[in-house]
Amino acid sequence: MVPRIVEVRKNILKKNDALAAELRERFRRAGVFVVSLVSSPGAGKTAFLEVTLRHLRERWRVGALVGDLATDNDARRLVRSGADVQQITTGTVCHLDADMVGRALEKWDLDAYDLLFIENVGNLVCPASYDLGENLRVVLMSVTEGEDKPLKYPTIFNTADLAVITKADLADAVEFRRDDAYANVRSVHPGIRVVETSTRWADGLAPWFRQLEQWLATEVRTPTAVRSTSRATLP
């Protein structure tokens, strides 16, 4: 049985890769820079995205897609930022795929955006295997989750372009071992950049904004290298 299941999964991922490649081309033509956010549930993705949208809206035309299993709470929260936001309710599916993103964007005029964020369903496992056509994948982990998340979920950390540590304001309270966390992230993805953030501090997202603006300066106006779509790693 196992080989057949693996075969089916392979085909699903192959189809996803093809759709993701089409999306990536669509994004490139529209000149929209796409960032996906992945984390476990409760790591603070939505708070992070809300502050991010608010900040970027001053200078960029931004939109966001938000994946969630059942509720639209996150989308309603993000609308407060003033950015265009659309909910993707996945039902029982614990990740977004390229087809869901493509369908959600059917009615969007991508030319009207500089930046699009995609908040994935809270899950560190299968989002690793589904390319969404994004330019950058950001993985978030909060200081309250423990330092060994990267060791437990190496694939998502390995396929991410940036690791963001969230809720840094709680680091002392939970005796967060910063050096261990960094070492763990880099043991599964050597050289990856890591930034620490807090949505509770004034300018608590500054390190992230600096990193993002650096990327925008170098990448948005020039064609981005098409990232490998074969990131599929079967369990």
**Residues interacting with Mg ion, by CB under 5 A?**
45-46, 74
Question: Is residue 69 at the binding interface for Zn ion, with CB under 5 A as the rule?
Answer: no
Q: Which residues contact 181 (CB under 8 A, 6 or more apart)?
A: 141, 143, 147, 150, 165
The site partner of 69 among Mg ion, Zn ion, none (C-beta below 5 to 8 Å per kind) is none
End-to-end distance of the chain based on CA atoms, in angstroms? 15
Question: Is residue 130 at the binding interface for Zn ion, with CB under 5 A as the rule?
Answer: no
List the structure tokens of 145: 């989750």
The site partner of 46 among Zn ion, Mg ion, none (C-beta below 5 to 8 Å per kind) is Mg ion
Q: 49 or 126, CB closer to Zn ion?
A: 126
Alpha helices in 32-88 (DSSP H): 45-56, 73-79
Q: 19 or 163, CB closer to Mg ion?
A: 163
Q: Is residue 94 within 8 Å of 126, Cβ to Cβ?
A: yes
Q: Which residues contact 19 (CB under 8 A, 6 or more apart)?
A: 97, 98, 99, 102, 133
**Shortest CB 78 distance to Zn ion, Å:** 22
Question: Is residue 95 at the binding interface for Zn ion, with CB under 5 A as the rule?
Answer: yes
Near Zn ion by CB under 5 A: residue from 12, 94, 151, 192? 94
The site partner of 149 among Mg ion, Zn ion, none (C-beta below 5 to 8 Å per kind) is none
**Shortest CB 66 distance to Mg ion, Å:** 7
Q: 55 or 95, CB closer to Zn ion?
A: 95
Exposed/middle/buried for residue 48 (C-beta within 10 Å: 0-12, 13-18, 19+): buried
Quote the CA–CA distance of 39 and 141 in Å, as a whole number.
Answer: 6
Near Zn ion by CB under 5 A: residue from 124, 126, 140, 185? 126
